[in-house]
Amino acid sequence: MAIVVAESFEQARAATHLIKVDYQKADGKFDLAAERSAAVKPKMDDPADTAVGDFDGAFAKAGVKIDHTYTTPDQSHAAMEPFATIASWQGDKLTVWTSNQMVDWARRDLSEIFGMPKTSFRVVSSFVGGGFGSKLWIRSDVVMAALGSRVSGRPVKVALARPQITNNTTHRPATIQRIRIGAGNDGKITAIAHETWSGDLPGGQPEAAALQTRLLYAGANRMTAHRLATLDLPEGNAMRAPGEAPGLMALEIAMDELAVALKMDPVALRIANDTQVDPEKPSRAFSKRDFVGCLRVGAERFGWSKRNATPGQVRDGRWLVGMGMASAFRGNLTMKSGAKVGIDGRGLVTVWTDMTDIGTGSYTVIAQTAAEMLGVPLEQVVVRLGDSDFPVSSGSGGQWGGNSSTAGVYAACVKLREALAKKAGLPVEDAKFEMGRILSGGRTMTLADVAGKDGVTVEDSIEFGDLTKTYAQATFGAHFAEVGVDADTGEVRVRRMSGAFAAGRILNPKTARSQVIGAMTMGLGAALMEEAIVDKRFGYFVNHDMAEYHVPVHADVPHQDVFFLDEVDEKSSPMKAKGVGELGLCGSAAAIANAVYNASGIRIRHYPVTLDKIVASLKA
């Protein structure tokens, strides 16, 4: 509502206490379950509903069937790095140094807010830190800093306090999901339906939790549906792996329940229902899909064959011990991405692009791409990111950043290779770039000599055309978890986690593994502790700080094993890569929930799986 601009933080804090606000109380809608019946079919980028075959008829005839409702709670991004901005006006030009994942989107939104051309704004976001989707768009810190700077005529810094972040930025909305699956005695799915409800402010978007169900498993008769309720809660929007993360939290428990009903191994059930084509559009094949490889390799590495399929049979002292697994799936998104690449008379290569680094290693993989394309050592490449003065990139989000941005750098490097070969008088089709030199037809020259004192700089971008229409694109994996459930208290401790993943060419195994173990840790939090609790009298999140909104700490995180299958997807991009940053979160929570069932025989369908939901059944 207001910003106080002062010389010091202490002054500003004291002055805010002088502001008096009068409120008028009004009734609000704060409960998704209460508003479920009033939810409507939303407008979405993807179709809100899909239907193939005769689901109702096939489900009625199915020899084995399950029909259950699952819920996931509101969740907070809970990034360690807050929303913070420094804004400075110089005449009619504004520069903001901010924490933002999508630099060009921020510039576009500032242009709309202030009614000025995009050229009036410069956005710098060289190092973002944690965002997880909450920083895809600018928030109040950017706008308030800009307004404060314009009024005061001086640079202004605004950092949102932790309680303000939870209730005044964005969050992952809660969901209610009904899943029905029918199968034959052989485990082959004959009917599958996934209906999901979520809420948001007027004009908002749903949590697209049924999207993965359209592509993950075979089955001739199928339907999915999304419904959106209007809620007067803080904005619901993208949080790491939007759609698939909460969707798989439900779907993969449902698959485990189907396996129990069939008396079939959960890994074997998933293998039996693999498909190499889009189940809704069989004419559209997957660009690359080794889901079965993930299941088999993951099961072997984890020691799945040692699992006792009968729940509650394995003990370690007071602990009931169980194993669970779940599929991992995340759509492979691509986005137009540009870059500028230059080389100077010293042979130093510089890359400029407005791509951001949110802890994913963008600086590293972009430097690797340029070094590989131009045949120079990695230490001779300088990467400059996160500035709207640079060419527009894909930005960081939706698991599209690494693949798309490096493909854009690849395109610029191809153009630079052509320019260097032409300047050297060498045929580009025969030119080789290695050891800082260009070689062709027996001739060789250093890149530094070819560049000369003026250097050579080019700019280009990558576009992906109708790739998504031609091929179904996705990344796959299999999660495995072992947990202990305290037989007296119901406390759950994850003992180990493991995953095998197929995500195209892995650009950097170390940074990719870091992304996946971080995502698996977020899945652990979603399974066992994360829940933004709504005060349904006033419509806000009560646990709005890190003391009360619980996320995993070091003591909660067990050994994590990550394995990447050797895969290239030549259709996805020139890099033959796909996204990987969100895949580790998709399904990991369900693997833990399924392990709790195997340990205790208690099926929890409402996340998080907290001890109060377990202990009563344990006593019984």
Which tens digits make up the pLDDT trace of 131-147? 999 999 999 999 999 99
pLDDT attached to residue 248: 98
pTM: 0.97
pLDDT attached to residue 514: 97
Q: Among 400, 432, 463, where does a domain finish?
A: 463
Q: Among 124, 142, 168, where does a domain finish?
A: 168
Q: Is the pLDDT of residue 504 over 80?
A: yes
State mean pLDDT over 52-66: 98
State mean pLDDT over 251-278: 98
pLDDT attached to residue 616: 85
pLDDT attached to residue 356: 98
Both 311 and 359 in a single domain?
no
Alpha helices in 439-533 (DSSP H): 447-451, 467-470, 509-528
Both 182 and 325 in a single domain?
yes
Q: In what order do the strands lie in the sheet with 337-343?
A: 381-384, 349-352, 337-343, 456-462
Q: Is the pLDDT of residue 619 over 90?
A: no
Query: What SS3 state is found at 28?
Result: coil
pLDDT attached to residue 41: 98
Both 127 and 108 in a single domain?
yes
CB 543 within 8 A of CB 159: no
State mean pLDDT over 332-359: 97
DSSP string, 370-421: HHHHHT--GGGEEEE-SBTTSPP---S-TT-HHHHHHHHHHHHHHHHHHHHH
Q: How confident is the model at residue 236 (pLDDT cuts 50, 70, 90)?
A: very high
pLDDT attached to residue 618: 86
Both 288 and 184 in a single domain?
yes
The residue assigned the tokens 């034959």 is: 184
The mean pLDDT of the chain is 97
Q: Which residue, 177, 282, 173, is CA-closest to 219?
A: 282
Please check whether residue 418 lies inside any domain of the structure.
Answer: yes
418 catalytic? Reply is no
What proportion of the chain, given as a percentage, has pLDDT over 70? 100
Both 260 and 363 in a single domain?
no
The catalytic position among 207, 257, 280, 582 is 582
Both 603 and 480 in a single domain?
yes
Please check whether residue 1 lies inside any domain of the structure.
Answer: no
Query: What is the tally of structural domains in the chain?
Result: 3
pLDDT attached to residue 242: 98
State mean pLDDT over 386-407: 97
Both 501 and 444 in a single domain?
no
Report how far apart, in Å, the C-alpha atoms of 40 and of each of 51, 203, 289, 444 are: 18, 12, 34, 67
Q: Among 463, 497, 522, where does a domain finish?
A: 463
Both 153 and 253 in a single domain?
no
CB 584 within 8 A of CB 477: yes
State mean pLDDT over 382-396: 98
Both 561 and 535 in a single domain?
yes
CB atoms within 10 A of CB 312: 18
Q: How confident is the model at residue 613 (pLDDT cuts 50, 70, 90)?
A: very high
CA torsion angle for 259, 260, 261, 263 (degrees, to 10)?
80
Please check whether residue 513 lies inside any domain of the structure.
Answer: yes
Per-residue pLDDT tens for 579-608? 999 999 999 999 999 999 999 999 999 999
Burial class (CB in 10 A: 0-12, 13-18, 19+), 443: exposed
Per-residue pLDDT tens for 318-338? 999 999 999 999 999 999 999
Both 137 and 158 in a single domain?
yes
Question: Residue 503 corresponds to which tokens in the numbers above?
Answer: 């995500």
Q: How confident is the model at residue 8 (pLDDT cuts 50, 70, 90)?
A: very high
Question: Residue 481 corresponds to which tokens in the numbers above?
Answer: 């978890």
Both 194 and 312 in a single domain?
yes
Please check whether residue 70 lies inside any domain of the structure.
Answer: no
Please check whether residue 45 lies inside any domain of the structure.
Answer: no
Q: How confident is the model at residue 207 (pLDDT cuts 50, 70, 90)?
A: very high
Range of the domain at 526: 175-333+469-619
Q: Please work out, in degrees rounded to the nearest 5, the angle formed at the alpha carbon of residue 241 by the alpha carbons of 485 and 528.
A: 15
CATH label of the domain that carries residue 130: 3.30.365.10
Please check whether residue 397 lies inside any domain of the structure.
Answer: yes
Both 329 and 341 in a single domain?
no
Please check whether residue 487 lies inside any domain of the structure.
Answer: yes
Please check whether residue 363 lies inside any domain of the structure.
Answer: yes
Question: Residue 145 corresponds to which tokens in the numbers above?
Answer: 């800093």
pLDDT attached to residue 465: 92
